[in-house]
Amino acid sequence: MSYVLNDAVAFADESAEGFVAAHRNLVRRVRGGVARAAATPPGQVAVVIGGGSGHYPAFAGLVGPGIAHGAAMGNVFASPSAQQVVAVARAVASDAGVLLTYGNYAGDALNFDQAQEQLRAEGIPCQSVRVTDDICSAPAAEQEKRRGIAGDLVVFRAAGWAAEQGLDLEAVAAFAARANERTRSIGVAFSGCTLPGAAEPLFTVPEGMMAVGMGIHGEPGIETVPIAPARELAELLTARILAERPENGTGGRVGVIINGLGSVKSEELFLLYGAILPLLKDAGLAIVDPEVGEYATSFEMAGLSLTIVWLDDELEQAWRSPAYTPAYRKGTVDLAAAPAAPDEVGGAADAGTVIAAGEEAAAAGARVLKAIESIRNVIDREVDELGRLDAIAGDGDHGIGMQRGARAAAEAAAAASSAGAGAGTVLTRAGEAWADKAGGTSGALWGLALRTLGRQIGDAGAPGAAVVAQAVAAAREAIQRTGKAEIGDKTLVDALIPFSERLTALASEGRGLSTAWTEAATAATAAAAATADLLPRLGRARPHAEKSLGTPDPGAVSFALAVTAVGTVLDAYNLKEN
Amino acid sequence: MSYVLNDAVAFADESAEGFVAAHRNLVRRVRGGVARAAATPPGQVAVVIGGGSGHYPAFAGLVGPGIAHGAAMGNVFASPSAQQVVAVARAVASDAGVLLTYGNYAGDALNFDQAQEQLRAEGIPCQSVRVTDDICSAPAAEQEKRRGIAGDLVVFRAAGWAAEQGLDLEAVAAFAARANERTRSIGVAFSGCTLPGAAEPLFTVPEGMMAVGMGIHGEPGIETVPIAPARELAELLTARILAERPENGTGGRVGVIINGLGSVKSEELFLLYGAILPLLKDAGLAIVDPEVGEYATSFEMAGLSLTIVWLDDELEQAWRSPAYTPAYRKGTVDLAAAPAAPDEVGGAADAGTVIAAGEEAAAAGARVLKAIESIRNVIDREVDELGRLDAIAGDGDHGIGMQRGARAAAEAAAAASSAGAGAGTVLTRAGEAWADKAGGTSGALWGLALRTLGRQIGDAGAPGAAVVAQAVAAAREAIQRTGKAEIGDKTLVDALIPFSERLTALASEGRGLSTAWTEAATAATAAAAATADLLPRLGRARPHAEKSLGTPDPGAVSFALAVTAVGTVLDAYNLKEN
């Protein structure tokens, strides 16, 4: 558990502030994360990494000469938002473009992909490489589905080295991808971890057992077996990883990482390395520059992983090259050579000025504000329950993610409304703030939904049931296009579709907004509850849904709660006006 | 707890082997610990640090350019033996002598002091500086009694810098002492830790509470209070440490360390640093090169400490200087400049050749072997109970320390006896091995006792009761002179003195060895049991004896067990011969 915190919601931000203060000679704070203190030289590809907080030194601790140019810093165990990634990329991009590289998790993939689209749209060349080193997270035939763990370090080092060699964007991306293809990791967990401010562990491992292949957010592994003596653990890890030797891994030289996840300490990691060393030698492998320590953690989780990268000549150069970041330092780096960074690049993602709409439109904007505040209030009230539901199959952050998003949305909506904005602008500002602050998959989707609603409804006046129903249908379409989820996948789509369909049907029958919305909300609630009984189809977005049989989906539940709360607000206005 | 181990007794050694293998470009294994890969240049003082295992990166992780030349590596939470310190010092000493610097704990002080004496006797100039930064471990008026915690890093860095500047031994020692005088730390603990292989935590902190000032082995702090929000914790730590601003700390520039003890993770440490920063600024202090991370740990203990060093111009140079060790790297170090180390220096501490004694003497040697084996057996049997007793007031390592010592002693005794050695040589070899392998205070004292017995008894033949009684009296005197303990201090002396007195009395009455010894052993057992009721006098060697009221002293108990076991062996010989 965490012992040092003020407020769980502020944890990641406050920690990031302290991190930057402690390393201000090396990194600078930019919107969305951190960047090297020195500017990226012209002609050099900028490497942008990122992911959730709670994995230090991943990700911000790996920003500096020899590794990354910037890191997007998501909230606790939550992907950074697309806006965050874009902001960091803008801050570090030279004319040579940006490589985005990150561990392969659904929320990260969603947000980094959106960021890539936006960067390209802005004329910044962008490529992406997802790290997929965890051999226990999917079969060898589905390597693209595997998660990224400590192999991040190998791929990030390769990308940073290639960029600093002056390779162009395609070549840097290809080299990082090559590093990923040659990197394999396997982890074991002995205990779970407790998120800051949480009363219960996010996940646990039975006492005396070890979960082989368990992920760094508690994703299920391949088997749970009794804890073995170190020499047997060494054999298990080594055998499994050597059985996955990559096709192109024909050379006998390898880089090795023994990574501690949190409370397995250095003494134990060294002991394990000592036990693995002879096994690798017996397998005919020569170890180049072993790394034993913490490179990707999961708060105080007790666990560790073994990573092997099969080197070729260039990869060996990259692996052995100097680096100087807050958390990873190696060899001799000329610290005086880099030019100073320009002042922080901001601008494009800033709030801008609100143009006041007419009186009727501003009144509609004020209603939207009330509606968004009602969402914030119900999420504040149910945050623990949502977290509990999510912890059953996911990483337990749905409640706090929704809370961050809804709070930020309400704040942005209040600012817009008090400046006289109409409904469309209030919704758009709320959506931008939600995605920016919440991070993660649900943050991206809620942000997208509110922005779509805003665009559809516009600032012209007070929208009626038909306009709103059409806007909701558009938002639903955008969410399905982006999230790739269908009904039955146990996502918020399971509640959103019945809600949208009922709303459209009632609007076409000529019902008023408040009545139609409230009835549709009832349909959403029923559908959310019914997700408990869904046989999930194990879609790409929720590979571990099998764990949640019998439990309603937290995304569907929070959606139903939100639309129900909004219905109450609409009802109240309706009563006041009638 | 520890998850990666084969055998608790071998843990520290196996971990050290893995450490050296992982960092063989930087450090080399020498008898007793590790040394820099590069030899100490002529004219440069060698800085030797050391302490128990379980505190990584203290101590071996801090060996390299900019910090230490060598580290003596004790067993888990146990001081290295004097022999280990001497061996490491010999391996790294140039003509300019050796500075020993280490945290101020009773066992370390005892062994490093013995090592200093021996090094000087060998013609190697030697000085010592004990680190005493922990403000909660004794009042300001008794600064020399304070323990050393994360302030180690400040003092070691100062010593390493001064040595590399070419200062002579007196000047290096004076500079290290100056760094220590200007350094203050305060720690808080949220949980205890469990030693490798132990079933129960060595110590605990009540849930929801934090122990202000608790030591890194669980030594009691000054108060236990509810866990506070981070900003209040920051205020508590800062206020207490600023109240201890050293007299000569008049400048406004300070170095700061936020040290994590094990499972308080980086994110939390950064958050705390962010909270402390404005408080230090408000106090008019400018922070130079803050360090936030793990510098002195205690396995997976949840805790942290704040260290402040008030800098002067030279100390600031030292604090900011480059370093390159396995665990601490800063700035730019010319890694190619250092000359390669010579082959390992060994020799003087090696076992040497046994000259066979006569037949009767060899028979006496074989009896001594049986006696020492009986000690090993009883300690093996009671190791957990001794650990439990020790955990009440101490660091819980008495059982495993005695076990390591007794096992090594029995092995060395067997080797000597099988070569035909007499009683004196068998005892001497056993004593050397015991101290070398056991480490800690009890290891040093048992080694001293056996060596004294060996010298007194000699190899002439089979000693009778009078000779043995006189030898025991001499051993008792040596132990009291070295350990400074008196009867009533709750140490093994409480059992040793009645044993020795009774043995002398019975021998002077003409009783045979076996009868006299067995009766004296009964007196020792009674006295050991009676230590449960002693009102301890809080002697220097056991400042926390107050915790152990109602519990017999583990050192006295193990002594009684040992002499009782020897009595049984002597009885058996007696029966066989009569």
Give the model confidence (pLDDT) of B293-302 as tens digits.
999 999 999 9
For the CA atoms of A558, A562, A568, A570, the dihedral, rounded to the nearest 10 degrees, stands at -160
The superfamily in CATH containing domain B359-577 is DhaL domain (1.25.40.340)
What distance in Å separates the CA atoms of residue A416 and residue A410, rounded to the nearest whole number?
10
Percent of chain A with pLDDT over 90: 69
Q: Which residues pair with A72 in a beta bridge?
A: A33, A50
Q: What is the pLDDT of residue B210?
A: 96
With a cut of 90, say whether residue B394 has pLDDT above it. Answer: no
pLDDT band for position A122 (50/70/90)? confident
In this complex, do B264 and A290 lie within 8 Å of one another by their Cβ atoms? no
Q: Encoding tokens for residue A84? A: 């965050």
For residues A264-270, give the mean pLDDT. 96
Architecture of domain B8-325: 3-Layer(aba) Sandwich (3.40)
Check if the beta carbon of residue B92 is closer than 8 Å to that of residue B46.
yes
* Chain B residue nearest residue A7, CA to CA: B229
Check if the beta carbon of residue B438 is closer than 8 Å to that of residue B408.
yes
Cα of A196 vs its chain's centroid, Å: 17
With a cut of 90, say whether residue A372 has pLDDT above it. Answer: yes
pLDDT band for position B17 (50/70/90)? very high
Q: What is the pLDDT of residue A335?
A: 67
Interchain CB contact of B304 with A (< 8 Å):
yes
Of the residues A3, A25, A276, the best mutation for testing chain B's interface (the one with the most B CB atoms within 10 Å of its CB) is: A3
Those residues whose C-beta lies under 8 Å from the C-beta of residue B322, and which sit 6 or more positions away, are B65, B66, B330, B331, B332, B333
A56 contacts in B (CB within 8 Å)? 265-267, 270
Angstrom distances, CA of residue B297 to CA of A456, B101, B105, B149, B304? 57, 18, 15, 9, 9
Tell me the backbone φ, ψ of residue B448, rounded to 5 degrees.
-60, -40
Interchain CB contact of B330 with A (< 8 Å):
yes
Q: What is the pLDDT of residue B458?
A: 84
With a cut of 70, say whether residue A399 has pLDDT above it. Answer: yes
Whether the complex's predicted ipTM is more than 0.90 is answered with no
ω into A57 cis (within 30 of 0): yes
Interchain CB contact of B334 with A (< 8 Å):
yes
Residue range(s) occupied by CATH 3.40.50.10440 in chain A: 8-322
B66-125 tens-digit pLDDT:
999 999 999 999 999 999 999 999 999 989 999 999 999 999 999 999 999 989 988 899
With a cut of 90, say whether residue B335 has pLDDT above it. Answer: no
B34-46 tens-digit pLDDT:
999 888 888 999 9
With a cut of 70, say whether residue A432 has pLDDT above it. Answer: yes
Strand pairing report for A33-36 and A27-30: antiparallel
Nearest to B262 among A2, A210, A263 (CB): A263
A301-318 tens-digit pLDDT:
999 999 999 999 999 999
Check if the beta carbon of residue B504 is closer than 8 Å to that of residue B513.
no
Cα-Cα end-to-end distance for chain B: 53
A470-488 tens-digit pLDDT:
999 999 998 888 877 888 8
Interchain CB contact of B277 with A (< 8 Å):
yes
A8-322, what's its fold?
Answer: Rossmann fold (3.40.50)
In this complex, do A15 and B263 lie within 8 Å of one another by their Cβ atoms? no
For residues A422-428, give the mean pLDDT. 90
Which spans in A26-164 are helix H? 82-92, 106-121, 151-164
Q: What is the pLDDT of residue B461?
A: 77
For residues A22-36, give the mean pLDDT. 93
Q: Is the dihedral of CA B451, B452, B455, B460 positive or negative?
A: negative
* Chain B residue nearest residue A270, CA to CA: B18
With a cut of 90, say whether residue B463 has pLDDT above it. Answer: no
With a cut of 60, say whether residue B345 has pLDDT above it. Answer: no
Q: What is the pLDDT of residue A462?
A: 82
3-state SS assignment for residue B81: coil
Q: What is the pLDDT of residue A165?
A: 96
- Cβ-in-10-Å burial (0-12, 13-18, 19+) of A48 comes to buried
Say which residue, A42 or B173, is predicted with more confidence. Answer: B173
Check if the beta carbon of residue A28 is closer than 8 Å to that of residue A60.
no
Check if the beta carbon of residue A442 is closer than 8 Å to that of residue A482.
no
Region of poorest pLDDT, from A490-504, B6-20, B272-286, B428-442: B428-442
In this complex, do A332 and B334 lie within 8 Å of one another by their Cβ atoms? yes
With a cut of 80, say whether residue B161 has pLDDT above it. Answer: yes
A14 contacts in B (CB within 8 Å)? 230, 271, 274-275
With a cut of 50, say whether residue B538 has pLDDT above it. Answer: no
What distance in Å separates the CA atoms of residue B494 and residue B485, rounded to the nearest whole number?
9
Phi/psi region, residue A197 (left: phi>0; alpha: psi -120 to 50; beta: rest), is left
* Chain A residue nearest residue B287, CA to CA: A22
Q: Which residues pair with B184 in a beta bridge?
A: B308
pLDDT band for position A105 (50/70/90)? very high
Cβ under 8 Å to A: B residues 59-118: 61
Of the residues B13, B257, B270, the best mutation for testing chain A's interface (the one with the most A CB atoms within 10 Å of its CB) is: B270
Residue range(s) occupied by CATH 3.40.50.10440 in chain B: 8-325
Exposure on the CB side of residue B160, measured as CA atoms within 13 A: 28
In this complex, do B268 and A2 lie within 8 Å of one another by their Cβ atoms? yes
For the CA atoms of B150, B152, B155, B156, the dihedral, rounded to the nearest 10 degrees, stands at -130
Cβ–Cβ contacts within 10 Å for residue B390, how many? Answer: 26
Region of poorest pLDDT, from B280-284, B389-393, B553-557: B389-393
* Chain B residue nearest residue A193, CA to CA: B263
Percent of chain A with pLDDT over 70: 93
Q: What is the pLDDT of residue A495?
A: 94
Of the residues B2, B26, B265, the best mutation for testing chain A's interface (the one with the most A CB atoms within 10 Å of its CB) is: B265
State the average pLDDT for chain B.
Answer: 90
Q: Encoding tokens for residue A332? A: 């001799």
pLDDT band for position A578 (50/70/90)? low
Q: What is the pLDDT of residue B111?
A: 94
Residue range(s) occupied by CATH 1.25.40.340 in chain B: 359-577
Q: What is the pLDDT of residue B350?
A: 38
State the average pLDDT for chain A.
Answer: 90
A39-73 tens-digit pLDDT:
888 899 999 999 999 999 999 999 999 999 999 99
- Cβ-in-10-Å burial (0-12, 13-18, 19+) of A121 comes to exposed
pLDDT band for position B199 (50/70/90)? confident
What distance in Å separates the CA atoms of residue A304 and residue A293, rounded to the nearest whole number?
10
For residues B21-27, give the mean pLDDT. 93
Interchain CB contact of A320 with B (< 8 Å):
no
Say which residue, B486 or A189, is predicted with more confidence. Answer: A189
pLDDT band for position A348 (50/70/90)? very low
B277 contacts in A (CB within 8 Å)? 18, 21
- Residue among A76, A71, A78, A82 at smallest CA distance from A30: A71
With a cut of 60, say whether residue B207 has pLDDT above it. Answer: yes
